Amino acid sequence: MTDKREAVKKLFTAKSSRVETNKGDVYYQRLYAQCKKRIEALKTLEPFGNKLELQDLLSEEGVDRRDFMKWVSATTAMLMLPSFFEPLVAEAAEVMNRVPVIWIELQDCAGNSEAFIRSDGPKVDEIILEIISLEFQETLMAAAGHQAEAQLHDAVETFKGKYLLFVEGSIPTAMNGFYGTIGPSGETFEEHLTRLSKDAAAIVAVGSCATFGGVPAAAPNPTGAKGVMDIVKGKPIINIPACPANPANMVGVILHYVLTGQIPELDSLLRPKFAFGYRIHDNCERRAHFDAGEFVEEWGDEGAKNNFCLYKMGCKGPMTFNNCSIVRYNEGVNWPIGVGRGCIGCSEPDFWDKYAYERPMADANIKAPTGGVEKTVDEFGLGVLTATAVGIGIHAAASALAGKKSDEGEK
Amino acid sequence: MKIERLIERIEGEATLLFEREGDGSIRFAEIVFPHFRGMEKILERKEALDALAITPRVCGICGHAHLMATVRALESCYDNAGYRVQISSKAETIRALTLALEMVQNHFKWFYLTLLPSVPGFETNRDASLLAVHRAASLCAKAIAHFAGQWPHTSYALPGGVMCDPTHLELMQVESLISRLCEIFESTLLHAPLETVTQMSQVGELFECEGDLPALLRHFQRAGWERFGQSHDRFIVLSEHLLGPSGKALKTRLASVDLEMVEEGQPTSPQGYTNHAKPVRYKSDLYEAGPLARAMVAKQPLIRQMHRKYKDASMTRIAARVVEIAALLQRCRESIGVIDLNEPSYIEPPVKLSDIEAVQGRGTVEAARGSLIHSLRLRRGKILRYCIVTPTQWNLANGTPEDPGVAQKAMVGLPDETAAEVVFRSFDVCSVCTTQ
């Protein structure tokens, strides 16, 4: 047992955070010029739908420039861009209403909508609710029923090829889609998703259900639930797993798209590397205790009172790729490990079945989701990495590469 | 004549099918929930404690209530096997506090995001109130996160207590968040101090106040809607809660409840539509669950008086939910003061669930929308069977034209579909929990 623990310790303390955060001056200069051009182009567009200007709103709400720049600075860092991009990120936030977003809910619990509508940042409620052009969102919008159907139809027609399609919830495929139909026509979720994907610029699968099937896909998967990437082919897909997905990452993806016109760099599971490029364990506030061999041995013991490492209580942080140890939840107030509750690995596929609640990983006979903790996302993501050099405008190229993700990921 | 109306802006989606009289008024309405995930099946064969991570995912709004129902169900398994699980009063208080805050966020959002937009002709500063409600919901989530790590979908409670060990600093922060919530309540929903609201006993006092609730009630009165939405006038509360006891009320007559009398049936759709909402009855009768039920059983003076005037109309139902926010916030404020940080957060149960051969248990909790029941059977710590009965099943499941369900009965006789939709929403519909 001691040997095993030592071996595990060695494995998990190995240097693993190998996301390339510095791509060199040439790369960033080129990217900067490209973003600048993109934002200038967006500025010439009329805002879709709402005509509200960010600066007016901010001052109306009493948010000063300094607060806004703090948010900009944090967001630039989150997107793994050098600090000279900050003015560009600020400009991008101001033209966010030039990019239409359609948000659909399928086999979901609305948890991601819930997380999103109170997303973080100083008064980002305003930025989100007022500035992005959320053309369709069942929970938030005023229209309902047939009126909403009409609104969705209009949004798709008006923004053909331009909108980001956010998908929340999995897609039931058993019994010909019997477990999830939508609207008066009885269209199945699968048909609905396929139809709306067709004209989207890119699809953002939000939450564990939309990405990997989530809890509905847990054994025995009674409804035949699947994730978006198992249904939609030939389109760029960005996965933002976790249950709920972190709003900061959703805003990050939109902002990245506004800024660059491209989908962010993805790993083998199509997750943006800026958010899923490292493990929870790598930046965990309890990491020092792990290295010192100080563990919580049972709930509520002295170790728990002293914030020792939760690994032995079944924490899945060492094999879970996500930025919640940095971004945290609920406007940065806290995260599960902050209150002494181990990570349950909710941004990894099939975690409902693979990771029991309390069993330590060493006893649980499970493999890391990417095939081995040692392998970094960079090695796995190489195949897809190239795809991100291609703008979303060139659908075919990007999606052909993205479509290969599973093969290349396993190599 | 049959009219379909798709209802969104709820958690999930529902379809209403109206049959109308010659003058257009509603003769009967069928409620259909077309979505299903199969949560009960997914829980089978899993480890008992895995349920603590799975059941909160039944609903993105009431996840904590599901967590609490699971915890109580597991604790009752210990009880039934002859072992006593001790819970410190600190853990109890923290659980109750986070649960209350989850209800507060739900009520705020229901009022502004679900109900108000469907009321025709009601003018309010929608942008201002939208921002206020998002701020309120965000404050609730932050306060919960101090104890529970995150919201939605927290799994921080377990048989024997809670996992968090808060410090004075966190208590102070939560206290300040609660104060800000009180301010938002007093500046939007009802312009009166919380204490005044909870002590009101005359409907007249309420109507004379300023704020979005009294304005809406006056709007209902002007429109002649004050008696819209009356139903069976039977109420049920299946467990004790922060604001009162369990029990049932037939009009104003109170009686105790026995969980054995709760019966779950199979989903029906006389019209042959796909429907996954299972009906639920108490001793073969339909009952309304939720804040109005809680107020009636707890004999809340203001709501009881309103009930005397308008019976179980939508207006009474709406007032009950909003007034409950004031009571909950008041209790939250008091709770902070009684938490003794020296007590343990967790007391280990005497044995592991896997040491118990076979046992069953049941947990009930009052969630935002009403009574929630989780029942399960375990063998050596593995789940054999899991059954969830949610609040909206009480209110929304279909009956027949002769014996209509609670929301169905409330819609019969209304002049048009618009009125019916408002009445339907006054129940705080949730489709994801209804069908799980």
pLDDT tens-digit map of B260-284: 999 998 887 777 777 888 899 999 8
Q: Tell me if chain A has a CB within 8 Å of the CB of B128.
A: no
Distance from C-alpha of B50 to C-alpha of B57, rounded to nearest angstrom: 12
Residue pair B384/B378 in contact by the 8 Å Cβ criterion: yes
Q: What is the pLDDT of residue A277?
A: 87
* Interatomic CA distance for residues A113 and A115, integer angstroms: 5
Looking at CA atoms only, how far is residue A330 from chain B in angstroms?
5
| pLDDT at A121 > cutoff 70 | no
What is the pLDDT at residue A367?
A: 43
Instruction: Give the SS3 label for residue B409.
Output: helix
Q: For B181-188, what is the mean pLDDT? A: 95
pLDDT one-digit tens code per residue, A191-218: 999 999 999 999 999 999 999 999 999 9
On whether the CB atoms of residues B387 and B269 are closer than 8 A, the answer is: no
**A57 in reach of chain B (CB within 8 A):** no
Model pLDDT, residue A260: 87
* Residue in A114, A212, A327, A355 to test binding to B, most B beta-carbons within 10 Å: A114
Higher pLDDT, A163 or B431: A163
> Is there a contact between A144 and B135 if contact means CB atoms under 8 Å apart?
no
Q: What are phi and psi of A136, to 5 degrees?
A: -155, 120
* Residue A3 CB partners (closer than 8 Å, separation 6+): none
Q: Is pLDDT of B141 > 60?
A: yes
Mean pLDDT of chain A: 76
| Of B116 and A97, the one with more pLDDT | B116
- Higher pLDDT pick, A176 / A50: A176
DSSP, res B49: G
Q: Which residue has 């896909």 as its token pair? A: A217
Of B9, B134, B160, the CB nearest to A139: B9
Of A3-17, B10-24, B94-108, B186-200, give the lowest mean pLDDT range.
A3-17
Structure tokens at B382: 């593995």
If pLDDT is split at 50, 70 and 90, which confidence band does B4 have?
A: low
Smallest Cβ distance to B346: which of A172, A221, A299?
Answer: A299
- B113 CB neighbours in chain A (<8 A) are 139-140
Query: pTM value?
Result: 0.88
Q: pLDDT class for A363, splitting at 50, 70, 90? A: very low
* Local structure of B427: helix, strand or coil: coil
Task: Out of A118-127, B174-183, B279-288, pick the least confident.
Answer: A118-127
| Residue A395 pLDDT class (50, 70, 90 cuts) | very low
ipTM at complex level: 0.88
- The predicted pLDDT at position A398 comes to 32
Question: Across the interface, do B118 and A299 touch by the CB < 8 Å criterion?
Answer: no
For residue B62, give how far its alpha carbon lies from the nearest alpha carbon of chain A (Å).
10
Select from A333, A335, A351 the residue whose CB has the most chain B CBs within 10 Å, as the one to mutate to test that interface. A333
Residues 6+ apart with CB under 8 A from B405: B31, B279, B286, B395, B396, B397, B398, B399
- What's the confidence (pLDDT) of residue A152? 80
Q: Comparing C-alpha atoms, which of A319, A292, A269 is closest to residue A16?
A: A319
Q: What is the pLDDT of residue A381?
A: 32
* H, E, C per residue of A156-197: HHHCCCCCEEEEECEEECHHHHCCCEECCCCEEHHHHHHHHH
Residue A199 CB neighbours (<10 A) = 16
Q: What percent of chain A has pLDDT over 70?
A: 71
Query: What share of chain B in percent tops pLDDT 90?
Result: 74
Q: Please judge whether B347 and A300 are an interchain contact, meaning their C-beta atoms are less than 8 angstroms apart.
A: yes
Position with higher pLDDT, A58 vs B187: B187
Cα distance between residue A110 and residue A180, in whole Å: 15
What is the pLDDT at residue A352?
Answer: 80
Q: CA-to-CA distance for B400 and A93, rounded, in angstroms?
A: 53
Residues 307-346 of B with CB under 8 A from A: 344-346
